[in-house]
Amino acid sequence: MANPTQQAQIEALADNLSANADALHRRLMRAIRTPSPDGALPGISQGVAQALFENEVALRQRANGLYLDAAVLAATGLGTQQQQLLDLTALAQQKIDRIDRLKDLVDLAGELLSLGAAVAAGKPEHVLSPLEKLKHHIEAL
């Protein structure tokens, strides 16, 4: 079974990194929009702005990696459902590539999000319902 405390700590760190990236973005955009005292140049140079944007992206990538780590930790509690989950999500990707109707795409995306949320929450007992809904939807396509 997954360690819920460790998973929660990893997610909290990812949340903090995401919040830091958001704050960095807001501050950077404010600096770009603020003219220099003489009114001739922006409040930040292009080189500094680019470096800060790169740092923002790196923070978001680190946060996403931590979210993935937390999801993997949660998925370890899935047992036999884990392979079914992997197979079904691979099949969903194939269906997404061939869906013609927008409604089917929206429905399938919603079911994938529900399944992902159940896995990320680290509650294997909540995975079965969204997994079954996704399976039936894919079979119907």
**Angle at 73 (CA atoms; ends 117, 4), nearest 5 degrees:** 80
pLDDT at 121: 67
pLDDT tens profile 72-119: 777 676 666 667 777 888 888 888 877 777 677 788 888 887 877 776
> Positive or negative, the Cα torsion across 108, 114, 14, 10?
negative
Q: What is the mean pLDDT of the chain?
A: 78
pTM: predicted TM-score of the whole model, two decimal places: 0.55
- Supply the pLDDT for residue 129: 84
